[in-house]
Structure 1
Amino acid sequence: MMLPAALLLLGALTAVLAPRLLARADWTDHEPVLALWVWQCVVAAVLLCCALSMTLSAAVAWQAVRGHVFAPAPHAVVEAYTLGTTGPWPAATAVALACGGVWSAAMLVREVVRTRARRRQRRAELLVRAPLLPGEDPGSRLVVLEGERPDAWWLPGTTPRLVVTTAALRRLEGRRLDALVAHEEGHAQARHDWLLHCSAALAGGFPRVPVFAAFRDEMHRLVELAADDMASRRFGRLTTALALVELNEDRGVFGPGAVPHAHLPQRVHRLLAPRDRFTATRRLRLTAAAALVPVVPVLVAFVPGLRALG
């Protein structure tokens, strides 16, 4: 029963230490795509620790599970895992972790169902506010909506659409409008909606687990920075920054005491005062190091078997 407990301890340490280290890092705002990858690896490592601990605990508690998990393994490997341990703890641990896994899946399904319902409602509202004209293609990717407030958003789905209000078209011209479109297209190309769904499901299912709440908050922030970078690479940082300012200046987010959308001034400042990006070599090293984080629980789980075979 020591190995499942060690895996749970490893998952807890990862959940506590990794967000703190990332919060202290000064590079996440300037390398948002890399930061997104690191966060995904951290959360995957935590979930993998729980899954491996559940599997080994179930193998200790029930002979049927043990037979499936260790069917192809030599006798020495089976003995190395001390599967003969008795007591109520293995079964209780396996059941608790299995319930957590089922709850996580249920929260993800709930998030997807709610999101699809919201999309259907928004598409129905769009159809009312902007009905199709005779001969107009119903699968058009661009929808121009009559509105007094400058706004634009990407509506994901089987037929994704970019919705732009007439006020935004009047205010943004030329390359600034192109930068806005490129920003929204960046969200669609990177499938940021799925990152937001998964992070929201984990944070909603386990509201008292800080790593999942931090994961959700960082996903919302980093996907916007990543989309800003996609737009700035095509149309320039100044053009993208001006597009953000002109689109949001009437909402009071740049004045003193602006609490909502407080990240917008930071995004504009980041675009206007860029820092040097990492070199390709350093970016590759960090990517590889982050990919090793979920590998550690697997190595820990295989240590007794490898020792027995050695």
Structure 2
Amino acid sequence: MTVTLLLLSVVALMAAVPTPRALTRAEWPDREPVVGLWVWQCLVATVLLCCLTALVLGAAAVFQTVRDQVFAPAPPAVTAAYDLSAAPVWAVGLTVLLAGGAAWTTAMLARELVEVRRRRGTTRAHLRERAPELPAGLPRSRGPLLVLEDDYPDAWWLPGHPAQLVVTTGALHKLTDHQLDAVLTHERGHARAHHDWLLHLSTALATGFPRVPLFSHFCDQTRRLVELAADDTASRRCGHLTTALALIELNQHRGVLSCASTHRLLGERVDRLLEPKPRLNPRHRALTTTAATLIPLLPLLITFLPGITALG
């Protein structure tokens, strides 16, 4: 059970307050939101992988049937290296706790997917009411871009099959051609990067484990960084000033420059576009990305090291 305890120590180290808070307070993710999102994903993947491998080893220590299945191909020396036959009494409770956590995580993910599917169905039904399909035999006018008759300026990407980019006539009247191009590029950036799946994952984990700092910070930062990443996609194509003006025009009625917490992100995004900071140099980006990619290998190294040592 030593390996299991070591894996749970890694979980405690990464999921506790200092690690996610340090990454939240760092300034470099604002300059490289895509890399920042990747680092958050790798940290969360490491914690989940640690819990999964600890569950497998714990179950192997408690249940002989599981042990026979897990270590069936391994020589006796490898099985002996993990010392699973002398599992302490508390190992049963720990294994049950880990199994409950795995079941709860699965339930939260399933619940989020069901809820997302329900919301998308409702939204698509509403869109069909406002923009019905033409009768059979007539040319179909609906494509990837759907224009709604509405004075309220808005634009959004509706994922799914088929995906739909929706813009209102209010936005068409309010924005210039270049500003509209920036808004549509922003939304397409969300779609190409599949930000919706990342948002669903982070929401499910934060909802299921609200007292785990890593998951709550992961959810908050994901919502923030996906917008910054899409802003960067738009600014690279249309320019920082055009993207900032489009953001102001499209959200002015919402209080884009307000200090209220719900609007603060919009103000930060505008300031970031008007006064862009230089990106990290390529070497720094490569090192950060590589280091983050290697972090999920830590639980695998901890798990397989006793067996590899026994074989050696």
State the TM-score bracket (shorter-chain normalisation).
Answer: over 0.9
What are the ranges of 5 or more consecutive residues in structure 2 without an aligned counterpart? none
Partner of 1:154: helix, strand, or coil?
strand
Instruction: Report the counterpart of residue 10 of structure 1 in structure 2.
Output: 10
State the match for 2:173 in structure 1.
170
- Report the alpha carbon displacement of residue 46 of structure 1 after superposing the two structures with TM: 0.4
Q: Which whole-Å deviations, capped at 9, do the CAs of 1:27-65 have from their partners, x for residues lacking one?
A: 011100000000000000000110111111111111111
Equivalent residue runs for 1:1-310 within 5 Å: 1-16=1-16, 17-134=18-135, 135-137=138-140, 140-255=143-258, 257-310=259-312
Deviates more, 1:17-26 or 1:279-288: 17-26
- The answer as to whether partners of 1:237 and 1:271 remain within 8 angstroms in 2 is yes
- Superposition deviation, residue 138 in structure 1: 6.7
SS in 2 for 1:143: strand
Which range moves more in the overlay, 181-190 or 257-266? 257-266
Q: CA deviation at 1:133?
A: 4.0
SS of the aligned residue for 2:153 comes to coil
Residue type matched to 1:68 in 2? Q
Cα drift, residue 142 of structure 1: 1.3
1:275-300 alpha-carbon deviations (Å, 9 max, x no partner):
11112222111111001111111111
Distance 1:115 1:261 in 2: 24
What per-residue deviation string (whole Å, max 9, x for no partner) do you get for residues 154-191 of structure 1? 11111111111111000111111000000000111110
Structure 1: 4+ residue segments shifted above 6 A: none
Write the letter of the residue equivalent to 1:56. L
The code of the aligned residue for 2:222 comes to M
**What per-residue deviation string (whole Å, max 9, x for no partner) do you get for residues 122-165 of structure 1?**
11111112223453527521111122221111111111111111
Q: Partners in 2 of 1:103 and 1:136 — Cα distance? A: 48
Displacement of 1:253 in angstroms is: 2.7
Amino acid at match of 2:235: S
Alignment partners' CA distance in 1, 2:266 and 2:34: 18
The root-mean-square deviation of aligned C-alpha atoms, in Å, is: 1.4
Q: Determine helix, strand or coil for the equivalent of 2:157.
A: strand
* Offset of residue 260 of structure 1: 1.9
Kept after mapping to 1: 8 A contact 2:134/2:141: no
Helix, strand or coil at the partner of 1:28? helix
**Letter of the 1:131 counterpart:** P
Residue identity opposite 2:266 in structure 1: L
For the residues of structure 1 that align with 2:147 and 2:225, how far apart are their CA atoms? 28
Query: Aligned in 2, Cα 1:123/1:163: closer, same or farther, shift over 3 Å?
Result: same
8 Å contact from structure 2 (residues 183, 246) kept in 1: yes
Letter in 2 for 1:279: N
Give the whole-Å Cα distance in 1 for the aligned partners of 2:70 and 2:116. 37
Q: Which amino acid aligns with 2:199?
A: L
* TM-score calculated relative to the size of structure 2: 0.95
Q: Does the 8 A contact of 1:177 with 1:243 survive in 2?
A: yes
> 1:139 touches 1:159 (CA, 8 Å); kept in 2?
no
- Give 1:248 deviation, angstroms: 0.8
Letter in 2 for 1:137: R
What SS class does the counterpart of residue 256 from structure 2 fall into?
coil
Number of residues paired by the alignment?
A: 309
